[in-house]
Amino acid sequence: MMLTPEVIARHASRSTPRYTSYPTAPHFHDGVDHETYLDWLAALPADASLSLYLHVPFCDTLCWFCGCHTKITRQYAPVAAYLDALVKEIEFIGNAAPETAHVRHIHWGGGSPTILVSDDIRRLSGAIRSVFSVAADAEFAVEVDPRGMDDAGIDALAESGLTRVSIGVQDFDPNVQAAINRVQSFEETRRVVDAFRARGVASLNIDAMYGLPGQREAQLAATLDDVLRLEPDRIALFGYAHVPWMKRHQSMIHEADLPQAVERYDQSAFAAQRLLNAGYAQIGIDHFALKHDSLATAARDNRLRRNFQGYTIDSADALLGLGASAIGRLPQGYVQNEAAIAKYERMIQAEGCAVTRGLALSEEDRVRALVIERLMCDLTFSARELSGAPSAIVSAVIAQAQDALANDREGFLTPTPDGFMVTPEGRPFVRNIAAQFDSYLTTARGRHSQTV
């Protein structure tokens, strides 16, 4: 079905969550605190599998498109002080978790974790392994800013067991880079990619963006051609989320320079087709992977998961968030650390833990979380997956699925024996489809980026 510009604009410009969790973070509250967290940690099974996310909230320059919790510093002293607190939190939480639990995934995010000097990279990795049992085949991924990345830092990461490097590119066009205050050449990026590969770090993820100021298909095409020259296993193709009410520095980007809904949709479709033509499989709404990659394999086997890092194969029993603003997920619910760096450091030094908010999952939350995750990952709704849940909740959710089918005027859904499947036309709008099962969305807590 050919979608008209009016239909595209109506659906693409809607404001919906990215659903890296359900319920989403705006609904967390201070009724969940560090005592709750410790109780939840103590209740984990002795043989629990764990995933660790470490947040390093510092950068040396401010990218105007950034939506992360980060602080700009040209001095290393604040980073060193923060690292002291982070190591202390790792020790405290590691000792509170079951001694025989094993870590299957480690992810360092930011900010820019590679702002750490080489000795501190080793210190942070050593702190993890001193209190957690890390599986020999654990995946260890780090978000790398190639600008100024030196060989000492690359050596330290490789020696720490890095298995996947994730490099932010966004766009290689000089004019677009100037408009987002991120100047990064292809040559510098390739130097860092080659250096990691020379040290045995074979897996590479590249982040690119559409919807940036002044960006048109020509610039996007050239950037994707350069990205493909780097031969990444995975590519994350994100739509720029313009949320200046949340991130005031984004006001440096003039809204008049941003492509509007239909052009963003066209850019997204253009980029997706280019990557498909290059042999990548489309994963969910915004990831692409070579067909041998574990993410593509998981998608084919319906084992794909979604968490705060996006699409993943991580099926650990618990995700432990470490660092300022970091979010964790346990069987009982979500926890989030204090976001303000100075307050986080004070809380860690005083108590060893900095959880200030979160959310305990209800039975209804669990059912709706499953429905939304499967929609975001597999593009399907299946009533069979709800077996065993309370019948009243299941009935309400199935009724919503039937309403979604009945009210589908655009051909975004097609019925299946026990539910529906999202069509290729509906795929870009799956966030809107998932939102129909979000019982919190009408409470209007928080504002979200546009769908496409």
182 annotated as a binding-site residue: yes
68 annotated as a binding-site residue: no
197 annotated as a binding-site residue: no
The stretches of 199-316 forming alpha helices (DSSP H) are: 217-229, 261-277, 294-300
Of 123, 139, 26, 18, give the one whose Cα is nearest residue 440. Answer: 26
353 annotated as a binding-site residue: no
53 annotated as a binding-site residue: yes
440 annotated as a binding-site residue: no
Which amino acid is located at 393 in the chain?
A: I
- Quick one: how far is CA 99 from the chain centroid? 28
Question: What three-state secondary structure class fits 71?
Answer: strand
**Cα first-last separation, the chain:** 18
327 annotated as a binding-site residue: yes
- Quick one: how far is CA 433 from the chain centroid? 20
How far apart, in Å, are the Cα atoms of 206 and each of 189, 203, 299, 304, 311? 10, 10, 19, 19, 14
DSSP 448: -
Residue 197 to residue 150: CA distance in whole angstroms? 14
143 annotated as a binding-site residue: yes
272 annotated as a binding-site residue: no
Tokens of 301: 């086997």
170 annotated as a binding-site residue: yes
207 annotated as a binding-site residue: yes
**Burial class of 180 by CB neighbour count within 10 A (0 to 12, 13 to 18, 19+):** buried
CA atoms 115, 117, 123, 129: torsion sign:
positive
Q: β-pairing, 71-72 with 413-416?
A: unpaired
Q: β-pairing, 380-382 with 413-416?
A: unpaired
Q: Tell me the binding residues for [4Fe-4S] cluster.
A: 59, 63, 66
Q: Tell me the binding residues.
A: 53, 59, 63, 65-67, 110, 143, 170, 182, 207, 241, 327
Q: Tell me the binding residues for S-adenosyl-L-methionine.
A: 53, 65-67, 110, 143, 170, 182, 207, 241, 327
